[in-house]
Amino acid sequence: MGRTRVRLKDVAEATGYSVNTVSLVLRGSSRLPLKTRELILKEAERQNYVPNQLARSLILQSTKMVGLVLTDIMNPTITKTARSIELDLAAKGYGVMFASSDNELANEKRALNHLQSSQVDGILIYPTNRSEISHIQNIAKSGYPILMLSDIPDANLDVVAIDDIKGGNIAVSHLIEQGHKQITVLDGAKDLGNSDKYDGAVAAVKAAGLPDSAIKIVDPEGHAAIHGFAAMQKAWASTPRPTAIFASTDSLAIGAARWCRENNLNIPQDVALVGFDNTEAAEFCSTPLTTINYASEDVSKHAVERILSRIEADNATEDTVITLIKPNLVTRESS
Amino acid sequence: MGRTRVRLKDVAEATGYSVNTVSLVLRGSSRLPLKTRELILKEAERQNYVPNQLARSLILQSTKMVGLVLTDIMNPTITKTARSIELDLAAKGYGVMFASSDNELANEKRALNHLQSSQVDGILIYPTNRSEISHIQNIAKSGYPILMLSDIPDANLDVVAIDDIKGGNIAVSHLIEQGHKQITVLDGAKDLGNSDKYDGAVAAVKAAGLPDSAIKIVDPEGHAAIHGFAAMQKAWASTPRPTAIFASTDSLAIGAARWCRENNLNIPQDVALVGFDNTEAAEFCSTPLTTINYASEDVSKHAVERILSRIEADNATEDTVITLIKPNLVTRESS
DNA sequence: TTGAAAGCGCTAACAC
DNA sequence: GTGTTAGCGCTTTCAA
């Protein structure tokens, strides 16, 4: 292999033209006579010529690729956003190079390194850990266009993200409006320094004039439905019992709903339930889930626009921009 | 940007050594004196040097990357396999470059072209269309290592895939064992020339000595739960009514289950339901779903092993190998 | 209208 | 121990 790959030189030798001429033709130059062009194009086709982007990018100092670091490729919300970003970038002539951190800092560092050494023109990242972002800041400082898809205050980095505080606030305000006075939040992101959804929830409780004891938190210690299942059991075992649950992801909510069914609790009569993300599963689970919509397309649109402006303006050191997208409530049967 | 990126030359000039020496040190050569090495490593670190893989790969004639073409990035089964492949490849020192076709032939061709021009060392692909694979065959013919993750008979290409015929057969045999004599299959892959699951289902009916009329097919015209919902309505409206449904994906099954709930049909008393893929949602949906397990890890393991052997043996033209993985039944409450 | 030469950042072969 | 040279496949001046 490798040596069997067709190069410009091969097409040049076969047609008798120089490498330069072949290159010109294949890039669609119109200043060559039609005859030459046809001859060369035909030969390239015949030999199945595929341009070598490596060589091309090396010269052009641009790969027309944007790197995207995901925390969890199995999370449908993140995947959906990734897909949206891929489409939006493609529309602008850019490709995307994926990498996943699996929520491990070491993986994240490795991924960033790999993307940089692959010479992507810019990087979009769902950061793993709020308290450890110096490596990201270093990349930004070195003049590399980079943007975070999750809000980390005072990071001094570009951000385009869903406003989780607002989201948590909306979810719990909704529950309070329904008359609930004892609410448990299922959220485990705190260990990564992120308690935005919970903070928003607490703010809603305060704003409603309820006592601090009106809200509690249970750490599901994981992201999958099975963790929501276990967390719900814990939540239900505590005194006083909650009358409503706010799960920080739909996946946790679905697990919680399952525990309720198995224990003969009716949703929303015995416990109300609100999720976060608005995944397909939320719509089709046993009791269609009230949830906070994660507007993937909006995140994508703004993120792509921003990173491309940094890339194409040669990253002229403008100020950092924080774009927070306000999420909305989708009311269904679970609350 | 670009010009601001640090090169070997920059580190060389800063330390007074030649580019070659710096290169040697950074690649971990031990034949340089410790002093030199430390000096150079420190300077590289200080300047935040990141090697340029483009240049490196151009010389080495290898990117240590494998391309992976997915049909649908939102399909959890495909995503799960992708993740598994990513891990298995990483363990062997390879990265993976994703591309998605969204089940469109034109996208698939574009993706393959892009991967080839990015000089990936080999390609893994979930093909979009069974009847149109000449472009894949051409790639293989040109000596490029490529392997399909879905079985297309007589394609004369390497395959590692789940045995869908067997899967369909197991699913329907199970339903027949439960006493069902009127079964409807929800499967829309036929337009892409793939009716393996249905074929397996039909074979099960025949093997049980049931008449041809014991099995029917409804095309959901889509992959999402919502399509399963509509297809279930159609299935239920036909005469004679089915007593059991075999959905070709869990997503369709979940949509079908939802239709049943909304129409006060109990699963499995009024209709039994079997899905395919064994996704997390199947386990946590209203009635936990009996389904066929898609063994992502097995597919990944064999596919990675095979593509790497082609890559590392310089694709010495061996015979094509078809590896079909026999799926197993996961029995839950829906049947 | 076409070709020759230089060079992108790196590695490898061979000097010294 | 370290430097020099050539060259990976391509694009880009600049000549002819």
CB contact under 8 A, B118 and A254: no
Cβ neighbours for A325, distance < 8 A, ≥ 6 positions apart: A160, A161, A162, A163, A295, A298, A299, A302
Nucleotide nearest to A56 (CA to C1'): D10
pLDDT in tens, B257-308: 999 999 999 999 999 999 999 999 999 888 999 999 999 999 999 999 999 9
Residue type, A85: I
Q: How far apart are CA B13 and CA A68, in angstroms?
A: 33
Strand order in the sheet with A322-325: A95-100, A65-70, A122-125, A146-148, A158-162, A322-325
**A-chain residues near B58 (CB < 8 A):** 52, 54-55, 58
Q: Which residues 12 to 31 of B reach strand C, CB within 7 A?
A: 19-20, 23, 26-27
Give the pLDDT of residue A3.
Answer: 42
Q: How far apart are CA A71 and CA A64, in angstroms?
A: 23
**Strand C closer than 7 A to residue A60 Cβ:** no
Of A83, A118, A255, the CB nearest to B73: A83
**Strand C closer than 7 A to residue B266 Cβ:** no
Whether residue A147 has pLDDT greater than 80: yes
pLDDT-based confidence at residue A30 (cuts at 50, 70, 90):
confident
CA at A20, C1' at D14: how many angstroms apart? Answer: 13
Identify whether B268 is preceded by a cis peptide bond (ω within 30 of 0).
yes
Q: Tell me which chain B residue has its CA closest to the CA of residue A47.
A: B142
Shortest alpha-carbon distance between residue A24 and chain B (Å): 18
Average pLDDT taken over every residue of chain B:
94
Q: Tell me which chain B residue has its CA closest to the CA of residue A252.
A: B284
**Strand D closer than 7 A to residue B117 Cβ:** no
Measured from Cα to the C1' atom, the residue closest to D5 is B20
CA at A59, C1' at D12: how many angstroms apart? Answer: 9
What is the per-residue DSSP string for B74-91? T-HHHHHHHHHHHHHHHH
Contact between A43 and A15 under an 8 Å Cβ cutoff? The reply is yes
Cα A202–chain centre separation: 26
Give the pLDDT of residue A56.
Answer: 96
Cα angle at B277 between A265 and B248, to 5 degrees? 100
**A-chain residues near B121 (CB < 8 A):** 1
Q: Which residues 37 to 76 of B reach strand D, CB within 7 A?
A: 55, 58-59, 61
Give the pLDDT of residue A2.
Answer: 39
Tokens at B149, concatenated: 């993750």
Measured from Cα to the C1' atom, the residue closest to D13 is A20
Q: Which nucleotides of C are covered by protein (CB under 7 A)?
A: 1-5, 7-13
Whether residue B317 has pLDDT greater than 70: no
Give the pLDDT of residue B62.
Answer: 96
pLDDT in tens, B99-141: 999 999 999 999 999 999 999 999 999 999 999 999 999 999 9
Q: Tell me which chain A residue has its CA closest to the CA of residue B111.
A: A95
pLDDT-based confidence at residue B3 (cuts at 50, 70, 90):
very low
Q: Which residues 45 to 74 of B reach strand C, CB within 7 A?
A: 51-52, 55-56, 58-60
Residue type, B119: Q
* HSE-up of residue B16 (Cα within 13 Å, Cβ side): 2
Helix, strand, or coil (residue A335): coil
Q: How far apart are CA B313 and CA A175, in angstroms?
A: 62
pLDDT in tens, B70-96: 998 889 999 999 999 999 999 999 999
Contact between A168 and A196 under an 8 Å Cβ cutoff? The reply is yes
Shortest alpha-carbon distance between residue B124 and chain A (Å): 16
Q: pTM, whole model, 2 decimals?
A: 0.93
Q: How far apart are CA B298 and CA A324, in angstroms?
A: 42
